[in-house]
Structure formats: structure tokens, C-alpha cells
Amino acid sequence: AQRVTQPEKLLSVFKGAPVELKCNYSYSGSPELFWYVQYSRQRLQLLLRHISRESIKGFTADLNKGETSFHLKKPFAQEEDSAMYYCALMDSTLTFGKGTMLLVSP
Amino acid sequence: DTEVTQTPKHLVMGMTNKKSLKCEQHMGHRAMYWYKQKAKKPPELMFVYSYEKLSINESVPSRFSPECPNSSLLNLHLHALQPEDSALYLCASSNRAANEKLFFGSGTQLSVL
């Protein structure tokens, strides 16, 4: 069975500090992994996916198959990054982790 | 149009009421989904429709009844709900490929009294 683990419920940083939101997965096969973000009072939206190897809003995430991780990183956090972040794994359905709330203080 | 539209945005209903949630997309997506999200929890999958046929039912109680009248519309019929069913109900759609991203609606906030 596939599983996604986000160990931190809350991550609080100051503006300009580096951010790493952790995600580990268990899956027997080649995973398709995503990060979704939910800003306050906005709809859940895709932030990035591992197959694109892109950087969105300064965020990147690298799939590490050896460590079964897909951590989300940003070198300098901004206040507008404050949101709930969900790591998700796609097989026939999309399975979400429990989410990490990121709070960026001025 | 790259949006998934859900109506109503808010719904309050009694345990004996019958109501329906509606979802619409015009992106040509052939997979549509219903998720349930409790406060400060991740979305939980309820149903998946693929090419207008129900492909996944995650053991959802029969008081929730999905319907896909055509490729653009998805309904969720509600009957005899319980207070614990109060949640945000999210609709999503995607192209039918395993690694395609989901587009989410803004949800219907349901309160069952």
C-alpha cells in the first residue's frame, strides 16, 4: 500500500530563512510525486511535480529514491509562502500526506 | 477555462434533508473526483469517475450518492447525513493519466445539523 508521511505538522520560520518541508513515501514501484499548496481561503492547487523538475515560486523538490523522500525546499522564505503544504503520491488515485502548515513571520 | 466550479459554496442541512452538490469543468478532463476534507486534515478520496463511469468508491456510506451525467458535470447527492459528515467537499478533475495533475474546485462547506 502506498503511504505518504509528512512528519511536521507546523513549521515556523522568519522571512528570508531557508525552508525544508519533509516528505517521505512508501511505494512499490516508481512513484509519481506532487506538492500541493492550500493558501488561506483559496483552493488546493498544484505547486510542483517531480517529473517536471521545475522551480515554482522559488520552491524545488528532488526525488531521492534511496531515501524515499521528496522534500520541498526554498532558500529564502517569504511571508506569502505561509500556507498548508501537502505532499501527494499518485498511483491510480492521489494519496495525500497529513500536511505541514508553514508560517513565515516578518 | 481552466477552473473547476463547485456550487453551492456553503450548505447547511438537517439530517432528514436531501441535497445535491454540483461540480463542473470545461477542460475536457475525463476523470473527476470527490474528496472530503475535515478542518486541518488532508483531503480524503471518496469517489473517482473515469469516462463517466464510477471507477473507485472508497467504501463511502450509501447516504452519499455520486452521479456523472456527462463528461463536464459531477454531482454528489446527499441524504440522511450525520453531523460528522460536516466537512469541505472538494471536486477535482484531471486528464486520465496516472501522472497528470488534479485541478481542484474551491469546495462546498457542508454543515449537517
Tens-place pLDDT, residues A12-60: 999 999 999 999 999 888 888 999 999 988 899 999 988 777 788 999 9
Chain-centre distance of CA B102, in angstroms?
13
Q: Across all residues in chain B, what is the average pLDDT?
A: 92
Q: What is the mean pLDDT of residues B93-113?
A: 85
> B1 pLDDT band (50/70/90 cuts)?
low
Of the two residues B99 and B22, the one the predictor is more confident about is B22
At residue B99, does pLDDT exceed 90? no
At residue A92, does pLDDT exceed 70? yes
Asked whether the beta carbons of residue A46 and residue B42 sit closer than 8 angstroms, the reply is no
Q: Residue A31 has what pLDDT? A: 84
Q: Residue A87 has what pLDDT? A: 97
Q: Across all residues in chain A, what is the average pLDDT?
A: 92
Of the two residues A84 and A29, the one the predictor is more confident about is A84
pLDDT tens-place string over residues B36-57: 999 889 999 999 999 999 998 9
Q: Is A98 on the interface with B (CB under 8 A)?
A: yes
At residue A91, does pLDDT exceed 90? no
Those residues whose C-beta lies under 8 Å from the C-beta of residue B3, and which sit 6 or more positions away, are B25, B103, B105
How far apart are the C-alpha atoms of A36 and A86, rounded to whole Å? 5
Q: Is A91 on the interface with B (CB under 8 A)?
A: yes
How far apart are the C-alpha atoms of B91 and B104, rounded to whole Å? 6
Q: Is A96 on the interface with B (CB under 8 A)?
A: yes
* A97 interaction partners in chain B (CB closer than 8 Å): 42
For the residues of A9-69, what is the DSSP string, one character each? Answer: SEEEEETTS-EEE--EEE-SS--EEEEEEE-TTS--EEEEEGGGT--BTTBEE--BTTTTB
Nearest CB to A46 within list B101, B105, B107? B101
At residue A99, does pLDDT exceed 70? yes
The backbone torsions φ and ψ at residue A71, rounded to the nearest 5 degrees and listed phi first, read -75, 145
